[in-house]
Structure 1
């Protein structure tokens, strides 16, 4: 219905969108510290004539485009934070903030949302309702929980649906990934302290080796996944950090491990926490250690509303063509705090392909998104809002 005008306006705004994206990339900020990023978003919204509010959660910005015609309220969301990664892309607009990088494409997400906002603002006279623009901090840091806090803030309680996207190097450039139901996993983090008794390495019988016990725990965890969990269910447990010992000839008194658990169902999430604790109790019984488990719940699972994926599928066919649509067979075990919005409101989260041969993965110091995908993201977000509001 609006596809021709949306494409024309996207083409007109694209040079600015690229400029916004490069600015965000050049000046990244980690979770909870997105102050300059927030101010820049506010500046762009002001230039576009879009009112906004701040101060309801950290550095978050909430813009509002009120159409000239009556209708419901929908929302679009982009995340703002970068990662504590030292950039290795060699781009002329590479990060100027040492040790911080937009290695997960959030620079693209913000610029796409601003582009969609510019298109929608220019079409206010045709807009049947209101669009809220959510610029959310701290997606990467579950302990801050940007999505969780904004979803619970009441600021979105008048919306009827919400949409978002993530650039995705596992899909080819120019493909939009639409998947019903399970899309991205719940992400939990756990900390383990195995305490033994130190002794001379030549007299191991006089001590309790926490390192050997911790090594057995690592193997036990892998056996837990491979022999106790249903192979048809989505569950991953990875121990990514281990610190132990002070010297080559000293028996280890303390071993510290950190890991992550990825699941899709609350029952499996509960079971993993329970079984990790039970494994440690068995470890202590066997080795004489004293172990502690701190299991921290992170983002919940991102589960798309099926009918909203059907809706986006129709939008994509109309606005970008069915040749750009992919229906991924499998969900990802990566996590996204868009999950909190989908727990409260109907909506959908899509993947925007940015993969070519040799494209680094997300969170890699060499990751750089292909800017040719920016128009697709803008068209999908603007088109979704225009079409769902036109239904009224």
Structure 2
């Protein structure tokens, strides 16, 4: 489902409570300030400073400097109760922005091309709203402003720093503004939402020589070509047709001259899947194939395989909470989209491994306004009406869970 083929649903803004509607100008202003000053992972100093400054001015309890630039804000309800966490990522991408807008990035080669500026603005003003309405919920809400989602990953270091403790978090929710869905929709499902993300690098060592005398060589380019082809059999023949998986070779470098057979070829790629069981099958088969192909051609190899993020797997109960809130808020039935899986990865997965939770997509594309470019595109932008919708959903989740 792609936003470019969908028109935005009519968004009934009267479903957003007036106190949240009144925040919209400040929300937009803050989001645009963040957009102008994008920062890469673990370097979100200006972003963290702006978040902390607002929390301080609003009198909201918070701790800074967690996992370098992370922040946790704590808002307490009018009486004891459960603890719900809300997570927002803050980092940007190494992309040169091409949007011609007054709030375009002022940092050369860095851009908020995935909506994290919106996530931060939504979470920050959710904290503001809850701090001003403690009578509407019981227990505690911890709002986690996380660095480095785009890499190398800030969720795990924040968990190791204890952000889910003192008080212990009972459940966690988070959202991703999503230009693959139109404004006025919410993508939510139980189980796997986003794929595990893993990577590999392989160096194939052959024997170089003259291009006209191939019998004296072991052609590393020929070997690597066979490897690339053979790797596609993993998904085709080792993964059930009812499962989803991807093995992609994204880089292949070899040779320096047209008449020289290269002695070395280097390739790298990514592996994606939902089912955790495939996390053992795919890397094992990948090395078996590389080893077998190299042996059959008389080449050798070195393989480096690493796991970046596990799959994002939502708890059924917390997903139902988000679904019920969304169903009562956005236009139904088309407004709640259950089939919204993506092979993209997200380190929200580490939080979901630690406590029950739900990560969901908030439709943000509006083709009518030319706001439907995909994530990580140099012209990515989104309809800022989604900001208030995000706060309303978060607040309703708090009111339903913390009571």
TM-score of the aligned structures, taking structure 1 as reference length = 0.94
Q: Write the distance in 1 (CA, Å) between the matches of 2:297 and 2:366.
A: 50
Out of 56, 65, 68, the residue aligned to residue 66 of structure 2 is 56
Q: Write the distance in 2 (CA, Å) between the matches of 1:217 and 1:28.
A: 39
Q: Write the distance in 1 (CA, Å) between the matches of 2:155 and 2:17.
A: 30
Whether contact under 8 Å (1:6, 1:382) holds in the other structure is: no
Structure 2: segments with no counterpart, 5+ residues: 1-12
Deviations 1:52-95 (A, max 9, x none): 10233111001111123221211100001111111112222111
TM-score of the aligned structures, taking structure 2 as reference length = 0.92
Q: CA RMSD for the aligned pairs?
A: 1.8
* Comparing 39-48 and 313-322, the one that deviates more: 313-322
Structure 1 pair 107–113 and aligned structure 2 pair: CA distance change class (3 A)? same
* Comparing 202-211 and 189-198, the one that deviates more: 202-211
Residue 218 of structure 1 and its aligned partner are, at CA, apart by 0.7
Q: Write the distance in 1 (CA, Å) between the matches of 2:359 and 2:316.
A: 11
Q: Where does 1:220-369 land on structure 2 (aligned, <5 Å)? A: 220-322=230-332, 325-357=335-367, 359-369=372-382
Aligned partner of 2:204 in structure 1 is: 194
Q: Write the distance in 2 (CA, Å) between the matches of 1:188 and 1:174.
A: 33
Q: Write the distance in 1 (CA, Å) between the matches of 2:399 and 2:107.
A: 38
Structure 1 pair 127–330 and aligned structure 2 pair: CA distance change class (3 A)? closer
Residue 355 of structure 1 and its aligned partner are, at CA, apart by 2.6
Out of 153, 156, 161, the residue aligned to residue 148 of structure 1 is 156
Q: Write the distance in 2 (CA, Å) between the matches of 1:150 and 1:286.
A: 46
* Structure 1 position 78 matched with structure 2 position 88: yes
Q: Write the distance in 2 (CA, Å) between the matches of 1:355 and 1:56.
A: 33
SS in 1 for 2:107: coil
Q: Write the distance in 2 (CA, Å) between the matches of 1:44 and 1:97.
A: 22
Residue 118 of structure 1 and its aligned partner are, at CA, apart by 1.4
Q: Write the distance in 2 (CA, Å) between the matches of 1:379 and 1:137.
A: 24
SS in 1 for 2:377: coil
Residue 330 of structure 1 and its aligned partner are, at CA, apart by 5.0
Deviations 1:358-385 (A, max 9, x none): 7221111111111111111111111111
Q: Write the distance in 1 (CA, Å) between the matches of 2:203 and 2:224.
A: 9
Deviations 1:174-196 (A, max 9, x none): 10111111100110011111111
SS in 1 for 2:318: helix
Q: Write the distance in 1 (CA, Å) between the matches of 2:14 and 2:65.
A: 37
Residue 321 of structure 1 and its aligned partner are, at CA, apart by 5.0
SS in 2 for 1:277: helix
Residue 229 of structure 1 and its aligned partner are, at CA, apart by 1.9
Structure 1: segments with no counterpart, 5+ residues: none
Structure 1 pair 325–36 and aligned structure 2 pair: CA distance change class (3 A)? same
Residue 260 of structure 1 and its aligned partner are, at CA, apart by 0.6
Whether contact under 8 Å (2:330, 2:336) holds in the other structure is: no
Aligned partner of 1:178 in structure 2 is: 188
Whether contact under 8 Å (1:178, 1:325) holds in the other structure is: no
Out of 167, 178, 185, the residue aligned to residue 168 of structure 1 is 178
Deviations 1:236-291 (A, max 9, x none): 11111111112222211211111110112222111111011111111211211111
